[in-house]
A and B are shown apart, each in its own frame.
Chain A
Amino acid sequence: EDKVVQSPLSLVVHEGDTVTLNCSYEVTNFRSLLWYKQEKKAPTFLFMLTSSGIEKKSGRLSSILDKKELFSILNITATQTGDSAVYLCAVDVQGAQKLVFGQGTRLTINP
């Protein structure tokens, strides 16, 4: 069974801290890994990763994939209160035409 596991499930830090969110996966036929940020409504897309070792960056957020060890990390530097959200990791399974989501990491940034 295809599985995506995120850790930690919950994280509380102070503004300005750097956080690392983890996502590991076991799927039959990996195509890509995606990170989403979910605040009150639907998830918004952050990154799609397909190749190992290539860092994707957008402002204070960055992410990298390790296809050998089957995991990805999402880093957020100099966190702000607006970064508080649930961060979802999902794997696109080739041939299955679907995303398998992890449980999410609830990140809380305190001022």
Chain B
Amino acid sequence: GAVVSQHPSRVICKSGTSVKIECRSLDFQATTMFWYRQFPKQSLMLMATSNEGSKATYEQGVEKDKFLINHASLTLSTLTVTSAHPEDSSFYICSASVIGTDTQYFGPGTRLTVL
């Protein structure tokens, strides 16, 4: 149980385009989903916390107009990287909390490469 999927697993795009990444909890409902970014050989950095039906809470230094998060249902959150630039190239990971517990379950991640 507690499986989280992400789509796509890998995306390559041109500079200036927008990229949408989906995060789904497959077999449970998640009131809260989290978006992380991980640069090579570095730890996970929380970007934002997303609660179903409300606006996401962004961490300091993360541009909310650039990284649009939508948490439309209890099983789906999306992260859109708008006007992507090469410095946005990274590994983006989502996680979801099972309702009533503290444990976060991670998706497999999406590797974004911006040319």
Chain A residues in contact with chain B, CB under 8 A? 31-32, 34, 36, 41-45, 48, 88, 90, 92, 97-104, 106
Contacts and interface: CB of A to CB of B under 8 A. Distances in A.
Given A42-B93, A42-B107, A103 B102 contact: no
Interface of B: 32, 34, 41-46, 49, 57, 59, 93, 95, 102-109
Nearest to A32: B102
B79 to A, nearest CB: 14
B103 A103 contact: no
A28 B103 CA distance: 19
A33 to B, nearest CB: 11
Given A42-B93, A97-B49, A98-B49, A103 B106 contact: no
A88 B43 CA distance: 8
A42 B103 contact: no
Contacts of A99: 34, 46, 104
